[in-house]
Amino acid sequence: NLLKTAGLSSLLYPDPRGEFDLRREIAGNLSIARNFHCHPEQVFVTSGYSAGLGLTLRVLGLEGQKVWMEEPGFMLTRKGLELARLNIVPIPVDADGINVDYGIKTAPDAALAVLTPGQQAPLGSTLSLRRRLQLLEWAASNDAWVIEDDYLGELQLEGRPAPAMASLGEGKHVIHIGSFSKTVSPALRLGFVVVPADLVNAFAEVAATLAPAPSPVIQVATAEFMREGHYIRRVRRLKRLYSSQRDALTAELCSRNAQWVNAGLAVLLRLPEGAPDVRIVREAMTAGIAPSPLSAWFANPSWTVPGLLLGVATAPEQHLAKSCQRLFEIIEGYC
């Protein structure tokens, strides 16, 4: 049916920026959910986050220059920056998000900062307003760029999501990357980049040559899914489901006197200093449990802290007690 309704457009080469209907729906949703007002012309549809990051780094062309990256931070982002031949400067993260003061002191001449301000991956903290403004002031003063990895979008379980970084001021130095991986499915391989107006032409040229948008059929279907209100209803259902599963998981952890913090769509279980979280995860996987080792998110060995990231989305309540029992047996065997 989608092919039929597409009419003649299905016989033409697709727009490398992405289908206009989807770009319009994305812009509209960002305005409502993230307080980020942009035009469809600023939106570029990509094959997920990694493609959006690759497109952005190709357009910026910052090879050989310094980039701030959160420590700990997303391994895929780190690899992408390495492949783009940028010099990564790890910047520590605390309860207020990335430490901008540390970044300015350590590498004031960096050309780029990549961060997850909504809920830091993997620690879960939200970048404070003071640091957001400080970061934007640094970027404007140094003609630097900020890549906002909005990996959770509106799917944040703690209250109303903070507005997008790109919504502050005129957003001239912020490139916003989003994805449907958490809100719909990672198998969809669908994401988007929202760029300042001054970069639209440069992004269009690179997208047309090196980074064409995903299948128009998937894009049209997603646009219709959003236009009919299914997307918003799905996000609301997921928030209720994941909140319930998180509450059940944290209750189980509390019953065992464990130390934990909420971290986006995960719960971070603290481990004693020196605990071999990678080895614990390997053994847990043989028992059908799949946590993620916190130490793997660090680039600087001297800053590494052990811990386990327990996914909320993959923690069905009916198996929770048994899984936690086995996991703590494994942890006790190493600690």
- The pTM assigned to this predicted structure is 0.93
149/14 Cα distance (integer angstroms)? 26
- Taking residues 24-30, report their average pLDDT: 97
* Residue intervals in the chain for CATH 3.90.1150.10: 238-334
* pLDDT at residue number 287: 75
318/298 Cα distance (integer angstroms)? 33
CATH number corresponding to 238-334: 3.90.1150.10
Q: Which two tokens stand for residue 128?
A: 């404070």
What CATH topology corresponds to 2-228? Aspartate Aminotransferase; domain 2 (3.40.640)
* pLDDT at residue number 210: 84
Instruction: Beginning with the edge strand found earlier in the chain, give each strand of the sheet holding 191-194 in spatial order.
Output: 43-46, 191-194, 174-179, 145-149, 112-115, 66-71, 87-94, 97-98
pLDDT in tens, 249-260: 999 999 999 999
pLDDT in tens, 93-119: 999 999 999 999 999 999 999 999 999
- pLDDT for residue 2 is more than 80: no
* Residue intervals in the chain for CATH 3.40.640.10: 2-228
* pLDDT at residue number 1: 47
- pLDDT for residue 9 is more than 80: no
* pLDDT at residue number 247: 94
Question: At 10, is the pLDDT very low, low, confident or very high (cuts 50, 70, 90)?
Answer: low
* pLDDT at residue number 7: 46
Helix (H) or strand (E) holding 129: helix 129-142
Residue of higher predicted confidence among 334 and 304:
304
56 conformational bin, left if phi > 0, alpha if psi -120 to 50, beta if neither? alpha
* pLDDT at residue number 11: 56
pLDDT in tens, 205-254: 999 998 778 889 999 999 999 999 999 999 999 999 999 999 999 999 99
* pLDDT at residue number 313: 85
84/63 Cα distance (integer angstroms)? 6
- Taking residues 17-44, report their average pLDDT: 96
